[in-house]
Amino acid sequence: MAKKKENIRNFSIIAHIDHGKSTLADRLLELTDSVAKRDMSAQILDDMDLERERGITIKAHAVKLNYKAKDGEEYELNLIDTPGHVDFNYEVSRSLAACEGAILIIDASQGIEAQTLANTYLALDHDLELVPVINKIDLPAAEPDRVASEVEEIIGLDCSVAPRVSAKTGENVAQVLERIVADIPAPPVAEDNAPLKALIFDSVYDNYKGVIVYVRVVQGTLKAGETMKMMATGAEFNVVEVGYMRATGLEPCKELSAGEVGYITASIKTVRDAKVGDTVTKLQNLASEPLPGYRKVNPMVFCGVYPADGADYEALRDALEKLQLNDASLSYEPETSGALGFGFRCGFLGLLHLEIIQERLEREYNLDLVTTVPSVVYKIHLTDGETVEIDNPTNYPEQAKIDYCEEPITNAHIYAPSDYVGTIMDLCQDRRGVFKDMKYITTDRVDIHYELPLNEIIYDFFDALKSRTRGYASFDYEIFEYRRSSLQKVDVLLNGDVIDALSFIIHSDKAMGRARKIAEKLKEHIPRQMFEIPIQVAIGSKVIARETVKAMRKDVLAKCYGGDITRKKKLLEKQKEGKKRMRQFGTVEVPQEAFMAVLKLDDNN
Amino acid sequence: MIMTGIYIHIPFCKAKCPYCDFYSFRPEEKEKDSYLKAVLLCLEEYKAMITDEVDTIYFGGGTPSFFGGERIREVISHIRNNYRLKNAEITVECNPSSVDEKLVKSLKNAGVNRISMGMQSAVTKERKALGRVSDGEKVKECVELFKKHGIDNISLDLMLGVPYQTPESLDKSINFLLSCDIKHISAYMLKLEEDTAFYDMQENLSLPDEDTVCDLYLQTVERLRDEGFLQYEVSNFAKEGYESRHNLKYWHCEEYLGIGPSAHSFLNGRRFYFPRDFESFINSPTPVPDGDGGNEEEYIMLALRLNEGLQNKEFKSRFKKDISRNVFKKAEIFANQGLLTLSEESIALNEKGFLLSNTIISELLEGVD
C-alpha cells in the first residue's frame, strides 16, 4: 500500500501530573484496536512498576495507531508519550520536537497547574498545534465550563470544540481522535531522496537487540543493511532492523521514510551511543547539518550512593551499569568515604530522578542503600583566579583559599489556591527565595514566581510545599543562572572524628539552624554506647552545635533461673545482630536509622 | 565428686502476676493430683540417667507452696527412695499468701531446708502495682513461722525498677528485708517480657528511667555489702556460706534434671526441656532436645555472671587448656573502663560490669578461638 504522507499525524500528550495522560493514551489504543481488550492492563504505556505506582511516566514511549476517520480515510497516528516531570524536561522537549501537534489534557476539577503551563510553553516553543482536551468530567467536582474558560483566558486556546471526556470511563474519547485528524497538521512535505535526518527522541536498552533507537524521520529514508551515523557522537552502526512501534511490540518494516516515526536497531551497546536529541544520518549520503536542538544533558543533583552492606559493592556497580544502559542522564563514578566505605558519586537530572533511581536500585536490584545528602554543583572561585566546580562537600576547598562562591538559582513557579499565598511566601522566604511577581490565574488561583536557590529546593522543598498547602500547590522550576552566594562547608564529628558522609555545603545564614537540628537528631538516634560520645557540628575548627550521647550503663539483664541457658544465649546473639546493623564510624557505632534520619531531616522535625 | 541437682517446676498459681512470664496457671484441685502423678512417673523414668549423687532439689514455679505441703513431701520422698540423695539442699519457693503453719510443718517434715519467697517490694504502692495481694508484714510473719519450725535458710526476692520505685522507697524495702533477718537475697530487675500484662501496658507503668534503675541496682549492691550480704552473682546476695547451691549449679555449668512443663535439663552433656504445655506433660512428657551443653562459650558466659568470675584454673581442669589470651585482651578495654577486675588468671565483672553484662560477655566471647 502506498503510504499517504498527508495521512500521518505525529503527536504527543502533555499534561500536569495526574491529569490522566496515561489513561487517555490507553483509551486511544483501545479505540484504534491497537491492542486486544483482554491484553489491556491499566496504563499500558507506563510499563515500569514504578511508573504505575507513582502515576508518572519516566521514559518516553511511542506507539503507532491506525485509525479510520469519519471522513473515510485511513490515518496513521504516532503517539509519542512524554515524561511528565520537570527533571525530564529535555526528554519532553525532544519528544515534542518529533511531533507536529500535542493534546493538552486539563483536569476538569483542578484546572491549569504548574506543569500544564510549563508543558504548554514547551509545546509552543516547538510550534506545535495544541488540541485541548478536558478530562475527568466524570468527577463530581468537575467544572468543565470553568476550566474551558480558564484555558481560553490563560493559554489563549479556543475551547469551543475541545472534547470533554472521561478517559476513565471512555466517554467522548472518540472525539479526541477526530480532533487529532482535523487539527494536527500532517508532517511537512520532505524529499525521500534528501540526505537522511532523523531525530532521536528516545532510546531503550534491550537484552537481545541492544539499544533500540526511537526516531522521527524528518527527511530521507533508512533501511536495514545501510550504515548510519550519529551526528553528535560520530558513532557509526550497521542497521540491523527498522520498523514501527506497535502497542503489542515492535513491527519490522522495509524502510522508514520522511515524516514517519519508527525504531532502528543496530547492535548498539549502550544508550550513551544513541543520545536523545542526536540526529541520525547515513554514511552513504551524509547530511550537512544536524537537526537543531541537541545539547548534552548535565546532571544537576549529586549524591553518594553506598551499599548498606559493603559486600554489595559489586552488585551496586552492576546495577548502576544496567540502569545507565537505559538512562544516559544518570552518571556515576566510584567514590570512597571514610564512613561509608566504597560507593559511587551519582549525578541526576533532579531530585525526582534521584529518587527514582534509588527506588529502582532498591527494588529491581534488591539493594539496601545509604545515600548521602544531595548536593548541587557549586562554582568556587579561588583566590588564585581558578574556578572549580564542586558537587561533593569532600572536595570543598579550604575557606582561606576561596575568593567567592556561586550557586545555581532557579526560576520557580508555584501554582496554588490564593488562600495559601501567605504560607507559600513564608516558605520561599525561608528558603532564601527572591520574590519576582504574582499573577492571578483565576479569581482564586495564583502563580507565584520566585527565584529560588536550587540547593534549597533539593532539600525537601517539595514535601514542605505539599504539607503546607495540603497538596493543592504545584511547582515547576528551571535553572537560569549562577549567582554569588555566601556558602560554607559544615562537618559533623562523632567522638572527634569527622564523618565525611555527613558533611554538607550550606548558605552561611542557615548553617547554625541546620547544625543544631542535626546534632539533636543524631543524639536521638545514636544508642548509648560503652563510652560517652560527643557530637559536634563544625565549620572548619569552629564548633557551632554540640550534643552528647551519654555512656550506656546497662543492657537487658536476663534472669538466669530454671536452667534455661538457651534463652540467655539467644539474648547474646541478639546483641550481636544489633551490632551488625550498626555502622562503625571511627570508634562510634551508628545505626542505619540515625544516618537516614539526618539525611531526611526537614523543617518539620 | 560430681553432684546432680533436680528441679521440679510447679506450674500453678492462685493468680498471675502482671510481670511474670514463667509458665503457670490457676489449676483445679484434681489437676494438682494428676500433676503429682506425672511428676513421680517422670522421676521414675529418668532415674536411670542419673547415676551421680543428688545434692540439691529445687521446687520452683509457679507457686510450689500452692501445690500443697503433702504433695511436695511425696515428691521428695520419691526422690529419696529412687535417687542417691546426699546432704541435700532442698529449696521450695513460697508465696506468703499460701503459707500457713500446716504447710510449714509438712515442709519441715519432708526435709525442706531452704525457702525462697517473693517479697519484691515492701512499699504498698509498689506491691499493688506488681499485683501482690498481701502486705509486707505478711512476709515477715511467714519468715518467723519458718524460723519457728527450724528452717532458717531463707531467701527473699527484691525487685528493682518497679513502678513508682525511687532510691528512697528502695531503701525502705531493703530496711524491711534486713529486719527480717534472713540469709539470702535475690535482687533482680524488672524486665518487660512479651505476653505479660506489663508488656502491653508499659507506657502507663510509671517506670523509673534507665539511669535510675542503674542507680537502684548499685545502691542495692552497696547497701547489702555494708550489711554483710556478699554478692556472688549478678542478682544474688548471701550471708557467708548461704549461697544457693542449686542455682550455682546453673552458673557453674553443672548438670541437673528439670521436671515439669517449661523445665530445662542438662544431663550427660545434652540440654533438653519439656514444652510449656501442661496437658502434654500429664499425658506423655516428651523432652525437646536443645543441643549439646557445656562447651567453652557456655561455660564462659555463665562463669562471668558470678563475682568469682572466670577462673583459668577451673577452666583448665575442665577443658584441659587455657582460656584464649584473646579473651583477656578483649577484657582489657573493659578493665580500663572500670567494669571488671582482670588478673593473669581470672576475669571478674564488678557491679557496673554486671549492668552491661550482655555487651561485655558477647564481646569477650568473640575472643574464644
Question: Is pLDDT of B262 > 60?
Answer: yes
Closest by alpha carbon to A199, among A274, A129, A268, A266? A274
Mean pLDDT to the nearest integer, A517-521: 92
Q: A160: which 3 cell numbers?
A: 469551543
Question: Is pLDDT of B1 > 80?
Answer: no
Contacts 24+ apart (CB under 8 A), A330-335: A330/A299, A330/A357, A331/A299, A332/A305, A335/A304, A335/A392
Amino acid at A540: G
**Quick check: helix, strand or coil at residue A420?**
helix
Identify all chain B residues contacting A572, using CB atoms and an 8 Å cutoff.
301, 358, 361-362, 365
Position A83 scores a pLDDT of: 66
**Nearest CB to B301 within list A530, A563, A568:** A568
Q: Where are any strands of DSSP class E within A119-223? A: 129-135, 197-206, 210-219, 221-223
**Quick check: helix, strand or coil at residue A38?**
helix
Please state which of the ranges A22-36, A129-143, B120-134, B310-324 shows the lowest mean pLDDT. Answer: A22-36
Question: Is pLDDT of A170 > 80?
Answer: yes
Question: Using CA of residue B11, residue B13, residue B16, residue B17, what is the dihedral sign?
Answer: negative
**Nearest CB to B359 within list A558, A561, A575:** A575
Identify all chain A residues contacting B362, using CB atoms and an 8 Å cutoff.
572, 575-576
A569/B256 Cβ within 8 A: no
Position B69 scores a pLDDT of: 94
**Quick check: helix, strand or coil at residue A540?**
coil
**Nearest CB to B210 within list A553, A563, A572:** A553
For B284, residues 6+ apart whose C-beta sits below 8 A from its C-beta are none
Please state which of the ranges A220-229, A459-468, B85-94 shows the lowest mean pLDDT. Answer: A459-468
Question: Which of A556, A557, A577 to mutate: most B Cβ within 10 Å?
Answer: A557
Mean pLDDT to the nearest integer, B18-43: 94
- List the 247-276 stretch of A: residues with Cβ below 8 A of B: none
For B245, residues 6+ apart whose C-beta sits below 8 A from its C-beta are B5, B55, B56, B89
Question: Is pLDDT of A572 > 60?
Answer: yes
- Rounded to whole angstroms, the Cα distance separating A29 from A390 reads 47
Question: Is A414 within 8 Å of A450 (Cβ atoms)?
Answer: yes
Position A48 scores a pLDDT of: 53
Q: Which residues pair with A497 in a beta bridge?
A: A494
Residue A480's pLDDT band (cuts 50, 70, 90): confident
Name the residue in chain A with its Cα closest to that of B249.
Answer: A563
Amino acid at A161: V
Position A465 scores a pLDDT of: 87
Average confidence score pLDDT of chain B: 94
The phi and psi torsions of A243 (rounded to 5 degrees) equal: 175, -170
| pLDDT, tens only, A369-400 | 888 888 999 999 999 999 999 999 989 999 89
Helices (H), A156-222: 173-183
Closest by alpha carbon to A371, among A383, A362, A384, A381? A362
Question: Which is more confidently placed, B213 or A249?
Answer: B213
**Nearest CB to A564 within list B189, B234, B264:** B264
**Nearest CB to A556 within list B9, B188, B191:** B191
Instruction: Answer whether A42 touches B (CB < 8 Å).
Output: no
**Quick check: helix, strand or coil at residue A262?**
strand
| pLDDT, tens only, A118-134 | 788 888 878 899 999 99
Closest by alpha carbon to A474, among A106, A225, A204? A106
**Nearest CB to A562 within list B7, B210, B359:** B7
Question: Is pLDDT of A43 > 60?
Answer: no
The residue with cell 541478639 is A574
Q: A383: which 3 cell numbers?
A: 583566590
Question: Which of A552, A554, A572, A589 to mutate: most B Cβ within 10 Å?
Answer: A554
Beta strand pairing call for B346-349 and A221-223: unpaired
Residue B109 distance to chain A (closest CA, Å): 25
Residue A562 distance to chain B (closest CA, Å): 7
State the virtual CA torsion across A192, A96, A264, A244 in degrees, nearest 10. Answer: -80
A560/B264 Cβ within 8 A: no
**Nearest CB to A553 within list B189, B211, B250:** B211
**3-class SS shares of chain A: helix, strand, coil, % to 5:** 30, 35, 35
Write down the pTM of the prediction. Answer: 0.66
Question: Is pLDDT of B336 > 90?
Answer: yes
Please state which of the ranges A192-196, A289-293, B45-49 shows the lowest mean pLDDT. Answer: A289-293
Q: What are the Cα distances from residue A426, in Å, to A165, A433, A474?
A: 38, 9, 16
Identify all chain A residues contacting B7, using CB atoms and an 8 Å cutoff.
562-563
Mean pLDDT to the nearest integer, A456-468: 84
Question: Is B113 within 8 Å of B150 (Cβ atoms)?
Answer: no
A563/B7 Cβ within 8 A: yes
B234/A557 Cβ within 8 A: yes
**Nearest CB to B358 within list A565, A566, A572:** A572
Amino acid at A324: Q
For residues B15-49, b (16+ Cβ closer than 10 Å) or e, as one string?
Answer: eebbbbbbbbeebeeebeeebbebbbebbeebbee
Question: Is B155 within 8 Å of B115 (Cβ atoms)?
Answer: yes
A560/B354 Cβ within 8 A: no
The phi and psi torsions of A581 (rounded to 5 degrees) equal: -75, -10
Q: Is the ipTM value over 0.90, yes or no?
A: no
Give the distance between the most distant pair of CA atoms in chain B. Answer: 59
SS3 per-residue string spanning chain B: CCEEEEEEEECECCCCCCCCCCCCECCCHHHHHHHHHHHHHHHHHHHHHCCCEEEEEEEEECCHHHHCHHHHHHHHHHHHHHCCEEEEEEEEEECHHHCCHHHHHHHHHHCCCEEEEEEECCCHHHHHHCCCCCCHHHHHHHHHHHHHCCCCCEEEEEEECCCCCCHHHHHHHHHHHHHCCCCEEEEEECCCCCCCHHHHCHHHCCCCCHHHHHHHHHHHHHHHHHCCCEEEECCEEECCCCCCHHHHHHHCCCCEEEECCCCEEEECCEEEECCCCHHHHHHCCCCEEEEECCCHHHHHHHHCCECCCEEHHHHHHHHCCCCCHHHHHHHHHHHHCCCEEECCCEEEECHHHHHCHHHHHHHHHCCCC
**Nearest CB to B359 within list A530, A563, A564:** A530
**Nearest CB to A565 within list B247, B293, B361:** B293
Residue A353's pLDDT band (cuts 50, 70, 90): confident
- List the 542-571 stretch of A: residues with Cβ below 8 A of B: 552-566, 568-569, 571
What domains can you pick out in chain B, each with its CATH number?
3-251 (3.20.20.70), 310-365 (no CATH)
Please state which of the ranges A89-93, A407-411, B177-181, B278-282 shows the lowest mean pLDDT. Answer: A89-93
Residue A512 backbone class (left: φ over 0; alpha: ψ -120 to 50; beta: rest):
alpha
Question: Is pLDDT of A605 > 50?
Answer: no
Q: Which residues pair with A453 in a beta bridge?
A: A409
Residue B254 distance to chain A (closest CA, Å): 10
- Rounded to whole angstroms, the Cα distance separating A305 from A336 reads 10
Identify all chain A residues contacting B352, using CB atoms and an 8 Å cutoff.
553
Q: A500: which 3 cell numbers?
A: 565525611
How wide is the angle at C-alpha A77 spanned by C-alphas A109 and A57, nearest 5°? Answer: 50
Position A56 scores a pLDDT of: 46
Identify all chain A residues contacting B266, using CB atoms and an 8 Å cutoff.
563, 565
Position A356 scores a pLDDT of: 83
Position A581 scores a pLDDT of: 64
| pLDDT, tens only, A290-345 | 988 666 777 888 999 999 888 899 999 999 988 887 777 889 999 998 778 899 99
A552/B356 Cβ within 8 A: yes
Instruction: Answer whether A121 touches B (CB < 8 Å).
Output: no
- Rounded to whole angstroms, the Cα distance separating A516 from A534 reads 14
Residue B331 distance to chain A (closest CA, Å): 13
Residue B145's pLDDT band (cuts 50, 70, 90): very high
Position B354 scores a pLDDT of: 94
Question: Which of B19, B211, B358, B364 to mutate: most A Cβ within 10 Å?
Answer: B358
Beta strand pairing call for A279-282 and A331-337: unpaired
Please state which of the ranges A239-243, A315-319, A523-527, B30-34 shows the lowest mean pLDDT. Answer: A523-527
Position A559 scores a pLDDT of: 60
A558/B258 Cβ within 8 A: no
Task: Tell me how crowded residue B91 is: count the other CB atoms within 10 A of its CB.
Answer: 25
A559/B7 Cβ within 8 A: no
A563/B264 Cβ within 8 A: yes
Question: Is B342 within 8 Å of A556 (Cβ atoms)?
Answer: no
| pLDDT, tens only, B65-115 | 999 999 999 999 999 999 999 999 999 999 998 899 999 999 999 999 999
- List the 466-485 stretch of A: residues with Cβ below 8 A of B: none
Please state which of the ranges A296-300, B27-31, B187-191, B238-242 shows the lowest mean pLDDT. Answer: A296-300
Where is A345: in which H helix or E strand?
strand A341-348
Question: Which is more confidently placed, A243 or A466?
Answer: A243
Amino acid at B273: Y
Average confidence score pLDDT of chain A: 85
Please state which of the ranges A142-146, A429-433, B1-5, B188-192 shows the lowest mean pLDDT. Answer: B1-5
Q: Considering only CB atoms, which residues of chain B are within 8 Å of chain A? A: 7, 9, 22, 60, 188-189, 191, 210-211, 213-214, 217, 234-235, 247, 250-251, 256, 258, 262-266, 271, 273, 290-291, 293, 298, 301-302, 305, 334, 337, 352, 354-359, 361-362, 365
Question: Which of A532, A552, A565, A576 to mutate: most B Cβ within 10 Å?
Answer: A565
Identify all chain B residues contacting A569, using CB atoms and an 8 Å cutoff.
298, 301
Instruction: Answer whether A580 touches B (CB < 8 Å).
Output: no
Mean pLDDT to the nearest integer, B198-214: 91
The residue with cell 551488625 is A580
Residue A580 distance to chain B (closest CA, Å): 13
Got the DSSP string for A448-513?
EEEEEEHHHHTTTHHHHHHHHTTT--EEEEEEEEEEEE-EEEEEEEETTEE-GGG-EEEEHHHHHH
Position A238 scores a pLDDT of: 95
Instruction: Answer whether A311 touches B (CB < 8 Å).
Output: no
B357/A559 Cβ within 8 A: no
B60/A563 Cβ within 8 A: no
A569/B213 Cβ within 8 A: no
A576/B362 Cβ within 8 A: yes
DSSP state of A195: P
Residue B160 distance to chain A (closest CA, Å): 12
A530/B235 Cβ within 8 A: no
State the virtual CA torsion across A272, A276, A279, A282 in degrees, nearest 10. Answer: 50
